[in-house]
Amino acid sequence: MTVRHFLRDDDLTPAEQSRLLDLAAELKGSPYSRRPLEGPQSVAMIFDKPTLRTQVSFGAGIAELGGNPMLVEGRLAGIGVRESVADVARVLARQVAVVVWRTFAQADLDTMAAHAGVPVVNALSDDFHPCQLVADLLTVREHKGTLPGLTVAFVGDGACNMGNSWLLAGTTAGMHVRVAAPAGYLPSEATFARADEIAAATGGSATAYDDAEAAVAGADVVVTDTWISMGKEAEVDSRVEVFAPYALTPGLLALAAPDAIVLHCLPAYRGKEIAAEVLDGPQSVVWDEAENRRHAQKAVLAFLLEESA
């Protein structure tokens, strides 16, 4: 049996991503139509970083799939501290059908996946936030009708999990992904190289900008995220200064396509990375985006369970 995991956005082929988005849309329309966790089987949800949307949307979604959402308190479990990631993986797999884990190092997720024997889902790491991207793409598809060929501009901390995930997931969807960030805050060359490789097959593209205005010009979708990701709190002063020219203001948004939509994974800091007029304005779809976490993650769980059967 091959166990499928969802650790980074490019774990899905373009065809699988498209299928998964179709399933998410189906589940949104018919929330109780699939019961792959009937029993109920349990899903462990482990959080080593703060959470609101992820905990609630996974918890509600797992219940809707017929399962039992089991919150495992990261601080009590002490994964990698009290015992190795590999030993935790071996223990969890004897109890639960899926492991959902929010943590710091991507390498720890890889280790968990290597030893679990059940699907492991990245619920945000320092490097990627793939579940958020399924929700984001679902939201864009709902509002724009399609994904291939659309231009998305991500402005701000391009090196954070959301910048990286947009590069991989956006190009997988055949989108033109522009990332605008100050020097030192762009996704790594390796991530751009991977996005280029994906884009070559899907017709998308991946481009780095240092100028936010050039990146946003004519874009169909404009995305930003906090300048201070979880774990970066000590850098708040330097970050607020370096990212100031990348704030998503009404003036910057005016350069995008007239019907452009605005996404933000939340939590948002009004007056910092995004102006209140933009976040709360008519082009913002952030509440749909937040709702879509549940539908997207249900599709991820159903897909992984089916593929791992």
Please, what is the minimum distance in Å from the beta carbon of residue 129 to ligand NVA? 6
162 part of the interface to ligand NVA, by CB under 6 A = yes
- Candidates 21, 133, 160, 175; binder of ligand NVA (CB under 6 A) is 160
| Strand order across the beta sheet in which 42-47 lies | 68-73, 42-47, 98-102, 120-122
Of 65, 20, 23, which is closest to residue 42 (Cα–Cα)?
A: 65
C-alpha–C-alpha distance, residues 224 and 209, integer Å: 14
225 has catalytic annotation: yes
If binding is defined by CB under 6 A, does position 161 make contact with ligand NVA?
yes
Residue 224 in the binding site for ligand NVA (CB under 6 A): no
Residue appearing with tokens 């091959």: 2
Q: Is 186 in the site for ligand NVA (CB under 6 A)?
A: no
Closest chain position to ligand NVA (CB) = 229
* Residues 283 and 262 sit within 8 Å (Cβ to Cβ): yes
Q: Does 167 bind ligand NVA (CB under 6 A)?
A: no
Q: Is 293 a catalytic residue?
A: yes
The pair of structure tokens assigned to 93 is 């797999």
Q: Is 226 in the site for ligand NVA (CB under 6 A)?
A: yes
Q: Does 265 bind ligand NVA (CB under 6 A)?
A: yes
Handedness of CA 21, 23, 29, 35 (dihedral sign): negative
Within residues 105-144, the interface with ligand NVA by CB under 6 A covers 124
Half-sphere exposure of 284 (CA within 13 A, CB side): 19
Among 11, 48, 225, 289, binds ligand NVA (CB under 6 A): 225
User: For residues 151 and 24, what is the distance between their CA atoms, to the nearest angstrom?
Assistant: 22
Binding site for ligand NVA (CB under 6 A): 124, 160-162, 225-226, 229-230, 265
Known catalytic residues? 102, 129, 132, 225, 265, 293
